[in-house]
Every structure is written in structure tokens, then in C-alpha cells.
Amino acid sequence: MTDPNLLMIPGPIGLTPQVLAALSTPQRGHLDPVFMKAFSSTLKRLRDVFAAPTAQPFVVSGSGTLAMEMAVANLVQPGDRALVVNSGYFSDRIGKMLELHGATVTHVRAEPGDLPTLDDVERALKSGGFKVLTITHVDTSTGVLAPVQSLAKLAKAHGALVVVDGVCSAGGEALELDVWGVDVAFTASQKALGAPPGLGVLLASPKAMEAWKARTRPVASMYLDFAEWLPIMQAYEAGAPSYFATPAVNLILALDVSLGQLLDESMCQRVARHVSLATAARAAWSALGLTPLTKRPGLAAHTLSALTYPAGVDAGLVKHVAANGVNIAGGLHPAIKATYFRVGHMGSTDAGALLTTIAAVERGLKASGYRFDAGAGVAAAQRALG
């Protein structure tokens, strides 16, 4: 990763040369045999990435927000009850979408940087009647990692469908749909999957598809309706052309390449690499005296770090780091936006990129007037990486 402006925000992320090459190939039509083969491959590979051999994948032009609303629009209808395990900004977003589609929404909340306990969630579920429980696996706004497997088990015990926002986790965190009992998971192309922005990705279990078919009211959006997209996905997976809306041809070509790279590494090794990088990053932040936004051990994601500004340092740090060739992100959660910053370390990020980023953060801290042992962060990360 030799870009002089190293992209280390929590998405979009830097792309490998092979993915960039696929993106920049001459334009093909959506009926081109090369594209049809790539789309078929993409759909099949997504089942492997999500450990979901029985799921139906959907790949639709749009953002992660589109994939989120696709999940909501097809699963809920007016009068349904939904429980949101709220861990930040994007939990609030899916709650708002659920309300717009007519659901009665209950949030189980914690302060920013924390997560409701399993007991909190179970108490809410015991009130009964929830059709869906939503989990933000990693909330990009706070860096909080939710225990999807444990939460899904609770939801299943109370008859609720499990919807997982995997936008900042899929391809970087362990996520096994079939074994864990997840009914719908969605993500976007531009984060840990390692492709450019522009594609919403969703996988639906057989149970989720049955719930969609059992609706008593039509889906309130033609573009989001499974009924429009299911024949398209089935046709392309079988290697045949079909049409509802023109697919983002080059984006899908690029996604197919990135998924191939991911699976060549293997999901097991991919997750292990993200854990290794996150462990090194945490060692660096600790050595520099930086405090994570996450309130308890075990809550910090492996795809990004969220860190509070130390005393005397403000959002100018982000600009100081950028002046040293690395792009990081400021805060996002509205309640605490000015108090913290975020560093992405996902997808194709390697040890060299992480060390370069830590060094740039050190220089940014120095420019901000913060006192620390120069080189302490880089040295700690190097020790952690072995």
C-alpha cells in the first residue's frame, strides 16, 4: 500500500491493485458473458464469506443504507414489533427505518461506547411479540462489537427473526449465518469486503424468505422488493441474463475479485489477521496514553479503533495526521462527535500500513502539543506483531 495519502478511515478503504484493475477494465454490458460469469461467482462466493450455504444472496446497486432498508422493507409491515439492540448511530438509523415501514420499535440502549447486556436484551424480549431483533455487529460510529451469536440465540428462543448489520464487520469479523441462526445479514462493498463503494449486499435465510412470502401487504418499494430482485439473482447465478435494473457492471467485476482474494486467504485467516492488527493497534494506543471509546473489555471491534482525544487535543488532530500522509476519521456519533476519532484497519490493510498510520498519529499528536514518549506507539505495535 504505497499511496502517499494512505486511506485508514472506517470505509471506504484502500483497494488492492487487482481490484483496481477489475474496476478499470473497458465497460461491458450486463448481458456480456464475462460479466454474467463474474456475477454468478460473486453470488456463490458471498455464501462462503458469510458461512451461509442455504441463504439467498442479493447484490444491488446502492450503499449499505440501501441494503439496510432492503432488509427492513421485506421483513416488516405495519403493526409488527421490532427490538433494536442499540450500540450507536447506525442502530438509531435502522430503528428509524423500521418506524418508517410501520413497525413499533423498542430500543435497548447503552451510553455511547457501551452495549446493552444480554440480560437487558432478554428482559425486553420477554415482553413478547417481537417479529425481528436487529443487531449492529460493529457500529462504525463507536467501534463497539456486539456478540451476535449470543444475541441470536436469545432472539431464537423468543421467536424473533435476527437481522444483522454487518456493514463494518463482514469480511473482517467472525460471522457465521447458518450456524449462529442469523436470518438476514447485510453489508456494503467498500469496507472489509475490500471493493469500491456502490454495492449493497444482503443474504437472507430460508426462514427470512418464508417470512417475506407470508406478508399480507406488498413491500412499500419496488426497488427494494425481493420479488423484483430474486429472479435476477437466480438467473445470474445460473449463468443466464435477466433484467430489472441495470447492474453496476464494473463494481461487480471488482467485488468478484476482492471476494476471490478474501477466500484465497480464507475467512479463518482473514479474521485472525484482523485480530492481530487490532491487538497491535490497541498496544500502540495504550503506549501513547490514548483511551478507547469502548467502555468495557471485549467490546472493541477488530475492524477499527475509536479513541477519545486526550486532554488538550481536539479534532485538529485529524488534519495533522492527514498532513503526514494518512487519512483517519473524526467522530460520528452526534452526542460525542467532537470528543473522539477513528482509525480503520480492515480489508487488505497490512502491518506496514498500520505502522505507518501509528507513526502519523504520533506526529499528529506532537503537532497538537500532546506530550508522550516519541516512538512508543510504533514500538508497542511492533512488539505485538512479533
pLDDT (0 to 100) of residue 4: 58
- Answer whether 141's CB lies under 8 Å from 333's CB: yes
List strands edge to edge, sheet with 104-108.
Answer: 56-61, 199-204, 184-188, 161-165, 130-136, 81-85, 104-108
pLDDT (0 to 100) of residue 374: 96
What does the alpha-carbon distance between residue 301 and residue 287 come to, in Å, rounded to a whole number? 19
- Answer whether 40's CB lies under 8 Å from 238's CB: yes
- Residue 1: pLDDT band (50, 70, 90) is very low
- Residue 5: pLDDT band (50, 70, 90) is confident
The percent of residues in the chain predicted with pLDDT above 70, rounded, is 99
Q: Tell me: pLDDT of 227 over 80.
A: yes
Query: Using one digit for the tens of pLDDT, what is the confidence trace for 164-202?
Result: 999 999 999 999 999 999 999 999 999 999 999 999 999
- Residue 288: pLDDT band (50, 70, 90) is very high
Exposed, middle or buried, 298 (CB in 10 Å: 0-12/13-18/19+)? exposed
306 strand-pairing partners = 342
- Across the range 322-327, mean pLDDT stands at 97
Q: Tell me: pLDDT of 3 over 60.
A: no
- Residue 2: pLDDT band (50, 70, 90) is very low
- Answer whether 191's CB lies under 8 Å from 262's CB: no
User: Would you say the pTM of this structure is higher than 0.95?
Assistant: yes
Amino acid at 321: V
Q: Note the Cα 119 to chain centre separation in Å.
A: 25
Instruction: Enter the DSSP assignment of 244.
Output: S
Structural domains in the chain plus CATH codes = 6-11+267-385 (3.90.1150.10), 17-264 (3.40.640.10)
Exposed, middle or buried, 334 (CB in 10 Å: 0-12/13-18/19+)? exposed
